[in-house]
A and B are shown apart, each in its own frame.
Chain A
Amino acid sequence: MNNPADRLVAVAAGKEVPSEVHQQVLDERPVLEIDRFSLWYGTKQALHSITMPISHNKVTALVGPSGCGKSTLLRSVNRLNDLVPSVRITGDMRLNGDSIYDPSMDVIDLRKRMGMVFQKPNPFPMSIYENVVYSLRIDGENSRGVLDEVCELSLRGAALWDEVKDRLADSAVGLSGGQQQRLCIARAIAAEPEVLLLDEPCSALDPIATGKVEDLIQELRGRYSVLIVTHNMQQASRTSDYTAFMYLGRLIEYGPTTEIFTKPILRETEAYVTGRFG
């Protein structure tokens, strides 16, 4: 029997290995198509020709050991890596068919079509209400009726409404960490994003707040297309429909979460999810 990490050793030696993408993923309707996407920081290649469709209204988790490129990939989706001067890319990504890296693409417009939530909650130093309706305000929406409705719907959508409905005018900074993170998710979904990007959204939260955010991610299933990066394997298994395993900038295996965590195709994936490697 071959070493369970053969493919990973080959990857570490700089060899190209094909990704194992399950048919179920390919059968889904994609909201985002990552197409032969490679990225370099200076001379160091961080992503190697990643091709993966992200399914519409499903939760997709990116897992892999530190340095595997999962956060880089997530940040490439809304072109946050544009801010890093030494970055160079090849390939493309398409959001509902529109090329993300097309020179004519307006990055501000692009980012309006996506929501992003980071590791540390980053509420703006303003009221809970103003945080949620922020994206509408900058688009010039001032109708109280519209703003009130979006605020309530978004906070309900983020499972926060009952906790804050009586203090919407209070500063968001006074909320607990878990509430702040759910507020950030409410702020993100208020803009009705085509994709919601979550970059380790629970890593700065205690177990109870983590549980609430995980419950929320499950609630978002079927209504939003979510792409989540997580270090926590159980979080991926609990919250996602699809899981992609990455290693050293390559997509190794990508399939339904239940398959990845019960019978992955590759021994390499098995070794990683069972903790024998990584």
Chain B
Amino acid sequence: MTRHIERQIEQLKEKILRVGTLVEEAISKSITALINRDSHLAQRVMASDEEIDRMEVEVEEECLKILALYQPVAADLRFVVAALKINNDLERMGDLAKNIAKRVAQLAAGEPCELPPEIRLMAMQAQEMVKQCLDAVINADPSLARQVREEDDAVDAARQKIRKKVLQGIKEHPENVETLLRINSVSKHIERIADMATNVAEDVIYMVEGDIVRHRTGD
């Protein structure tokens, strides 16, 4: 016989994964829109954020219900607490995808411009991190989560490179300042997405091992 709380936790897991899937899609579409200067696709990403927000509230209510009605302990407690935090981070990733889409719409409306090659690479890395952190949630896999934490450094480095290039570009072509600043902010949003994926990974480590690894390096 399955215990009632196990069924509730299973349902919660499914809901979190639905949010995760929506967010992954939003990020992927916002990057595609960026590369193809596709403002229609960017509009669709912006519209899809509402669904993510709605689901986030639903997941949070589900977590509160489990805490109030079942008073989970040990692994169950850690799962519900991690779910609350992961849910939050996923919603933030959704917002960041929306922010990228907004910049894409502005970029598409302006003069054509060349994206720094690092931004594609960085976007691919961040997307891979999001995918991996969600896989780590599904499979309760702390070693995959640790890998995600390590990958964040590469994204941060790429972001710094782009920032420098943008500053250089502004000096050389001050007339392109708006476009360059938009590119800079896209790279910042991508970097933040990778940060959120790292947070999710850290919550997976807590969920499985009970250790809070945030603010610690080398774990």
Residues of A within 8 A of B (CB): 233-234, 237, 260-264, 269-270, 273-276
Contacts and interface: CB of A to CB of B under 8 A. Distances in A.
Contacts, number: 33
Interface string B191-212: 0000000000000000001110
B3 A263 contact: no
B76 A262 contact: no
Given A262-B210, A263-B210, A270 B5 contact: no
Nearest to A234: B71
A65 to B, nearest CB: 15
A189 B107 CA distance: 78
Contacts of B69: none
Q: When A and B form their complex, which 6 residue pairs have the shortest distance between CB atoms, in order from nearest?
A: A263-B210, A261-B73, A270-B74, A274-B76, A273-B74, A274-B74
A20 to B, nearest CB: 14
Interface string B71-89: 1111111100000000000
Contact of A276 (B3, B71, B210): B3
Dominant secondary structure at the B interface: helix
B72 A274 contact: yes
B210 to A, nearest CB: 3
B210 A275 contact: no
A125 B210 CA distance: 52
B79 to A, nearest CB: 10
A233 B211 CA distance: 23
Given A260-B74, A269-B74, A276-B3, 5 more contacts: A262-B73, A262-B77, A263-B74, A263-B78, A274-B72
A237 B77 CA distance: 13
Contacts of A275: 3, 5
Residue among A237, A264, A276 with the highest chain B CB neighbour number at 10 A? A276
Interface of B: 3, 5-6, 71-78, 209-211
Residue among A233, A261, A275 with the highest chain B CB neighbour number at 10 A? A275
Contacts of A276: 3, 6
Contacts of B6: 276
Contacts of B72: 274
A194 to B, nearest CB: 31
Nearest to B206: A263
Given A275-B3, A275-B5, A276-B3, A262 B74 contact: yes
21 contacts: A233-B73, A234-B71, A237-B73, A262-B73, A262-B74, A262-B78, A263-B74, A263-B78, A263-B210, A263-B211, A264-B74, A269-B74, A270-B74, A270-B75, A274-B72, A274-B74, A274-B75, A274-B76, A275-B5, A276-B3, A276-B6
Contacts of A234: 71
Contacts of B76: 274
A270 B211 CA distance: 15
Nearest to B72: A274
Contacts of B209: 263
A261 B77 CA distance: 9
A222 to B, nearest CB: 24
Contacts of A260: 74
A63 to B, nearest CB: 12
A233 B6 CA distance: 18
A168 B78 CA distance: 49
Contacts of B77: 261-262
A58 to B, nearest CB: 20
Contacts of A273: 73-74
Residue among B5, B72, B75, B77 with the highest chain A CB neighbour number at 10 A? B75
Contacts of B73: 233, 237, 261-262, 273-274
A233 to B, nearest CB: 7
B10 to A, nearest CB: 13
A237 B73 CA distance: 9
Nearest to A264: B74
A264 to B, nearest CB: 6
A36 B78 CA distance: 35
